[in-house]
């Protein structure tokens, strides 16, 4: 949704006048393209690593949890595999003096849909973890497979329905290619009520759900940690603070500037400086890479399973290299089979979703 910003095309003169022949160094346009490509590669590689792990069972993660995390990984992967290539293609092929066209409407629709789906998916994950922590005994009945798939379907199907007016070339929303942010942007300044309603239906509800659910889990974990100090000198690491605080900080850092700029542009009808526009438009895509860190790499079970997957790939792709190690290959193979069996056993559990669930005592 964050790529739904539209700023004035007056920035064309800034880019055209800034070393058009590239004789004095890289132009702002080439720098922006390089930043987008590097960010897209990081997001794609990070989510590929995540997919390699969560497509199989991970200790401590229920089936519902894996479905939600797969949905988040797919939404984050769309940043690097769909949003960035489409906008870079338009920026390289489109004549920026031309007006809006049908293809730019399609690109803007894809941008807004992917951004909105990512926010809804983050909200559903927070809701599922809240249920897992505070209702562990009713988790299996509350988070059934049918309800899980319905929540995921809502996160993926509702944004296209809500944002469908963007895809029509002759609709109520005008779309132009922005040379400042290198994206196809709908012009919400022509329809202020529609743009404000989008933030009220997408950003604010998702932010409220995430904030409430994660704050409740964090407070409960803190109370439990204080109780445990009375009976033990050494307590576990504060997993809730290590996971929940970075997740919420990254979410608001990446999404709030974009939403604020969109509301400012819709209400005032004026644009923001070129580089500020570029940063606020592309900053939410970095959340697709940060999610890989906060939701996955902090989890010890995920790291162990990732090392196991790499080990199995190395044995499958390089058997000669494995044989040079000696008897370690046989030992590693047996170790792999044992770990997989253990993970499959743990995988059938439908209790807590993440390590934060173990912080609470429901006595």
pLDDT in tens, 45-95: 888 888 888 777 666 677 888 889 899 999 999 999 999 999 988 888 765
Domains in the chain (CATH in brackets) are 2-18+25-359 (1.20.1070.10)
Asked if the model's pLDDT at residue 326 lies above 50, the reply is: no
pTM: 0.77
Tokens 């253990």, residue located: 342
pLDDT of residue 175: 84
pLDDT of residue 334: 43
User: Mean pLDDT for the chain?
Assistant: 75
**Distances 74 to 235, 258, 289 between C-alpha atoms, Å:** 36, 22, 12
Which bin fits 25, alpha (ψ -120 to 50), beta or left (φ > 0)? left
Which tokens go with 359? 């912080």
Q: Among 216, 251, 211, 248, which Cα is nearest to 359's?
A: 216
How many CA atoms does the CB half-sphere of 214 hold within 13 Å? Answer: 23
pLDDT of residue 302: 77
pLDDT of residue 127: 92
Please classify residue 145 by burial: count the beta carbons closer than 10 Å to its beta carbon, then call 0-12 exposed, 13-18 middle and 19+ buried.
exposed
CA dihedral over 89, 90, 91, 97, signed as positive or negative: positive
Q: Among 177, 179, 176, 184, which Cα is nearest to 29's?
A: 179
């Amino acid at each position: 949704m964050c790529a739904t910003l539209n700023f004035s095309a007056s920035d064309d003169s800034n880019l055209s006048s800034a070393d058009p022949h590239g004789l004095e160094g890289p132009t702002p346009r080439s720098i922006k393209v390089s930043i987008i490509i590097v960010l897209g590669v990081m997001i794609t590689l990070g989510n590929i690593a995540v997919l390699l792990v969560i497509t199989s069972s991970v200790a401590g993660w229920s089936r519902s949890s894996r479905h939600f995390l797969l949905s988040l990984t797919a939404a984050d992967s769309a940043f690097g595999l769909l949003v960035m290539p489409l906008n870079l293609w338009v920026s390289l092929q489109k004549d920026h003096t031309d007006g809006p066209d049908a293809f730019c409407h399609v690109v803007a629709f894809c941008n807004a849909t992917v951004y909105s789906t990512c926010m809804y998916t983050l909200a559903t994950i927070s809701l599922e973890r809240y249920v897992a922590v505070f209702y562990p005994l009713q988790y299996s009945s509350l988070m059934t497979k049918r309800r899980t798939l319905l929540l995921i379907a809502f996160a993926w199907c509702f944004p296209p329905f809500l944002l469908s007016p963007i895809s029509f070339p002759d609709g109520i929303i005008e779309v132009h290619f922005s040379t400042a942010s290198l994206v196809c942007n709908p012009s919400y300044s022509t329809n202020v009520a529609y743009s404000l309603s989008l933030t009220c239906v997408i950003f604010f509800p998702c932010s409220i759900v995430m904030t409430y659910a994660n704050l409740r889990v964090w407070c409960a974990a803190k109370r439990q940690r204080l109780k445990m100090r009375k009976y033990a000198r050494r307590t576990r690491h504060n997993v809730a603070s290590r996971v929940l605080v970075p997740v919420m900080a990254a979410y608001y850092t990446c999404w709030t500037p974009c939403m604020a700029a969109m509301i400012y542009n819709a209400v005032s009808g004026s644009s923001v400086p070129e580089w500020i526009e570029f940063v606020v438009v592309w900053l939410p895509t970095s959340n697709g890479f940060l999610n890989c860190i906060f939701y996955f790499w902090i989890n010890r079970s995920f790291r162990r399973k990732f090392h196991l997957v790499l080990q199995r790939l190395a044995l499958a792709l390089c058997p000669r290299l494995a044989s040079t190690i000696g008897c370690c290959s046989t030992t590693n193979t047996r170790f792999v089979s044992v770990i997989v069996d253990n993970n499959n056993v743990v995988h059938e559990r439908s209790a807590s979703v993440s390590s934060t669930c173990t912080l609470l005592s429901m006595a």
